[in-house]
Structures are given as structure tokens and as C-alpha cells.
Amino acid sequence: MLIPRGDRLAVWGDPISHSRSPQIHAAAYRTLGFDWSYGRAQMGEAGFADALARLDASWRGLSLTMPLKTVAFAAAADRDRHAELTGAVNTLLLGPDGPRGFNTDVGGIVRALGDSGITETPAARIVGAGATATSALVALSELGAENVDVVARRPEAAASLVALGRMLDLDVTVSPLAAEPRADVAVTIATLPGDAVLDGPVADALAASGGLLMDVVYGHWPTTLSSAWERAGSPAVSGLGMLLHQALLQVRVFATGDPAAALPDESRVLAEMRRALGEQSRDVTGDGGVGD
């Protein structure tokens, strides 16, 4: 497998000005002693293919955020298993045979939940049915989940999650937001946009039976759900942990071509990335929510 020799990297998306990826990637490469640059560019779906085609040999790879994960999937010459399962690519490693696509969001969720003591869970809940919910479902399958309840504003939007659940040998049930939560679960992963507002009774009912909350939001904190978890006296973590760990896996890809290949002195690399993010350990409701 050929690893590109270029030293230029960037995160693309729209909007992109809020992205913390440049800080945390720069910290990683500085710690590794790599003289690589990592920038950002506002990019929409319409201009993506042409912009990707214009990248020359000085470029090593790209991180992709919304709304580019689907078009990046289509642009990849080959893809890892997580990308194939989710239909989403958030990492492109460039090379002479075409870009290789990876989804590091799945591993980022698994590792972030591990930071909070969740290394396995037989039953879980996902709030929301969008693209991030797909990565959350795959992550939960890797944590041994057998039953996952998807709670969505529009239950019909979760049809693809039910189909994916069958592929993963998961029993996926779908409930409207206003329905009584089906059962107590050990972990709830919320994938709603940061500005989403839920009715107080709905949020409180989910918090009462939801175990640990991981809300993938980190720029609008606290969220309606994290506030409900705080009222219930239950733990809640923001999406900063997921952001941190998916970025570490991206660094692995850019450095080695393999998200499973550990970096030299990786614990120190991760510590420096965490410091750059401004997250001392993990963002827990009640200890001061971290904003964007």
C-alpha cells in the first residue's frame, strides 16, 4: 500500500469556520515531528468533485464534514468497512490509484464511550435518524448491542436504520419522540442538530430511562437533552470526545494508511490533541459544558 508523500491536509465542509479540526490535527503532527500543514476550506456538494480533482501531489488527504460525507463516499476508489456500512466517508487518503475512503466517526464514538466507562451495552437508544445515527448504530453493534431503540421526529426516516440493523443482526425498533420510552437502556446517543429543541416532558422522559447520554453536539452546549440529563442526575457527555477520537483515527490514516495502526507514542499524541481541544478529560454535565 502506497502512502502519499504530500504534506498538505485540510478539513472541508459548509459551514466550516467553527471547525476545531485544524487545532487538534496541528497538535498531533507537531507532537509526531511531522512538518505537515492542515487548513480548512468552505466547500459544498456542488463544487466538491472539481475541487478534489484539482488537488496535486502536494496533498496527502482530507477530513470531510457535513454536507460532504456522501459525495466523498461516491468519490472514493475504495472504502473501509465502516464507510461501506454507513455510506459515509469523513476521511480521504489521496494516492495515485484514487482516494481511499474511511469513516472514523464509528471508531470515534466507540472510543469516546469507552472514556466514559461504556465498553459494552446490550441495549441502547439513538435519538435522531440522520447520517450520524447510522455511524452510531454501527458503533453500538461493535459494543455488543442486541437491541437499539431509535427515537425520531419522523419515524419513517429511520427505515434505513432498521435495514442496517438487520445486516448487523440488531433488533432495531423505532418510536416517535412523543412516545413513552420503551425500556431502560445503558446509553443514549443523541444525533440531533445542536439547535434542536425538544419539549421538556419528552426530554425528561428520555433522561429518566436513558443511562449515559452522549450528545454528539459540542458547539451548542448544554443542549435540551443534556439539561434534562442533569436534572435527572444522570451523566452526559458532549461530542468533544467523539471529535477527539475520530481525529486521532484520521491521524493514523494520514500517517500509516490504517485507522487500526497505533501511532508512535500515541498516548502523548492524544494528550496533546486533547490539550489543544481544551478538554482536560471529558465534558460532563455539571462540570461546565464546553461550547464551540
Report the pLDDT value the prediction gives residue 243, as an integer from 0 to 100: 97
DSSP 3-state of 138 = helix
DSSP 3-state of 291 = coil
Give the mean model confidence (pLDDT) for residues 258-262: 98
Residue holding cell 501531489? Answer: 57
> Within this chain, do residues 77 and 95 fall inside the same structural domain, yes or no?
yes
How many structural domains compose the chain?
A: 2
Q: Is residue 170 part of a domain?
A: yes
Q: Is residue 228 part of a domain?
A: yes
Over residues 172-203, the pLDDT tens digits come to 999 999 898 888 899 999 999 877 778 889 99
Residue 189: CATH number of its domain: 3.40.50.720
> Within this chain, do residues 227 and 124 fall inside the same structural domain, yes or no?
yes
Residue 26: CATH number of its domain: 3.40.50.10860
Domain containing residue 132: 117-234
> Within this chain, do residues 194 and 149 fall inside the same structural domain, yes or no?
yes
CA dihedral sign of residues 104, 84, 101, 159: negative
Q: pTM of this prediction?
A: 0.93
Q: Is residue 138 part of a domain?
A: yes
Of 25, 60, 69, 100, the catalytic one is 69
Give the mean model confidence (pLDDT) for residues 263-268: 98
- The values of phi and psi at residue 214, to 5°, are -110, 110
Q: Is residue 254 part of a domain?
A: yes
Q: Is residue 111 part of a domain?
A: no
69 is catalytic: yes
Is 152 a residue whose pLDDT tops 90? yes
Report the pLDDT value the prediction gives residue 108, as an integer from 0 to 100: 99
Report the pLDDT value the prediction gives residue 1, as an integer from 0 to 100: 55
Report the pLDDT value the prediction gives residue 10, as an integer from 0 to 100: 99
> Within this chain, do residues 43 and 97 fall inside the same structural domain, yes or no?
yes
> Within this chain, do residues 50 and 18 fall inside the same structural domain, yes or no?
yes
Q: Is residue 21 part of a domain?
A: yes
Q: In one letter, which amino acid is 243?
A: L
Tally of CB atoms within 10 A around 65: 19
CB-based contacts of 120-123 (< 8 A; 24+ apart in sequence): 120/144, 121/145, 121/185, 121/186, 121/187, 122/146, 122/147, 122/186, 123/147, 123/148, 123/149, 123/183, 123/184, 123/185, 123/186
> Within this chain, do residues 29 and 77 fall inside the same structural domain, yes or no?
yes
> Within this chain, do residues 125 and 227 fall inside the same structural domain, yes or no?
yes
Read off the C-alpha cell for 139: 458503533
Report the pLDDT value the prediction gives residue 282, as an integer from 0 to 100: 42
Torsion of CA 204, 112, 130, 40, to 10 degrees: 130
Report the pLDDT value the prediction gives residue 284, as an integer from 0 to 100: 40
Question: CA distances (Å), 219 to each of 94, 222, 284, in order?
Answer: 30, 9, 14
Q: Is residue 3 part of a domain?
A: no
Report the pLDDT value the prediction gives residue 208, as an integer from 0 to 100: 94
